[in-house]
């Protein structure tokens, strides 16, 4: 269910702004998107796992807040991350 450290490092290296960046909105959005995808796949088989459903909704909300922040601060980066991760508006 959780993403591996190698996958997380790969996501960070793809979306980081500079060499030591691990907390920018782009990085956090990409990591949250991977976690959401993993949890969605889990919930396809375990439909009555209500705690995971709640966690999924919380992650989606957190990602939405990061996207809204990025949209206000840097619209080009916002559009780029939406295209890269195939996220709907």
Token pair of 2, please?
């959780």
Residue 3 DSSP label: P
| 3 in any annotated domain | no
Q: How far apart are CA 74 and CA 4, in angstroms?
A: 29
Q: How many domains does the chain have?
A: 1
pTM: 0.92
> Using one digit for the tens of pLDDT, what is the confidence trace for 10-51?
999 999 999 999 999 999 999 999 999 999 999 999 999 999
Binning pLDDT at 50, 70 and 90, where does residue 88 land?
Answer: confident
Residue 1, pLDDT > 70, answer: no
CATH code of 67's domain: 1.10.287.10
Q: How far apart are CA 39 and CA 3, in angstroms?
A: 10
Residue-number span of the structural domain to which 55 is assigned: 22-85
């Amino acid at each position: 269910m959780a993403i591996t450290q190698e996958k997380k490092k790969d996501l960070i290296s793809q979306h980081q702004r500079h060499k030591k960046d691990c907390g920018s909105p782009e990085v956090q959005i990409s990591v949250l998107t991977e976690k959401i995808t993993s949890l969605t796949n889990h919930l396809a088989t375990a439909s009555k796992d209500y705690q995971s459903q709640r966690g999924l909704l919380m992650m989606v909300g957190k990602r939405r807040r990061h996207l809204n922040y990025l949209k206000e601060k840097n619209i080009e980066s916002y559009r780029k991350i939406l295209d890269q991760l195939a996220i709907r508006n």
